[in-house]
Amino acid sequence: MTGYQNHKDDILRRLRRVEGQVRGLQRMVSEDTYCINVLTQVSATNAALQSCALALLDEHLNCCVTEAIGKGGGEAREKVTEASAAIARLVRS
């Protein structure tokens, strides 16, 4: 079971948009676009990918983590620790 089950189409749409942005970057480089303009697009792509991650994380907390906590026991703590580690990777990437 995944937390994004009910928003799968939305997540896929966002990821396809990011793919389009990355392909746009390749085109810009192929056509010798000025470095700064390429960098501006890289920043935009990064921001789009991060928004995607934040959406996934919110759904994960609302579904998987919430469910584990509802059941209680050791699994709840484990799920929170796992989520915290994912947040740390995101903050540091």
Footprint on residues 63-92 left by a copy of itself (CB under 8 A): 64-66, 69-70, 72, 76-77, 80-84, 86-92
SS (H, E, C) 32-83: CCCHHHHHHHHHHHHHHHHHHHHHHHHHHHHHHHHHHHHHCCHHHHHHHHHH
| Site track for a copy of itself across 18-37, x = CB under 8 A | xx--xx-xx--xx-xxxxx-
Q: What tokens appear for 15 in the block?
A: 């990821």
Question: What is the distance between the alpha carbons of residues 46 and 22, in angstroms, rounded to a whole number?
Answer: 10
Tokens coding 38: 């390429």
46 binds a copy of itself (CB under 8 A): yes
Residues near a copy of itself (CB under 8 A) are 1-5, 8, 11-12, 15-16, 18-19, 22-23, 25-26, 29-30, 32-36, 38-40, 42-47, 49-50, 52-54, 56-62, 64-66, 69-70, 72, 76-77, 80-84, 86-93
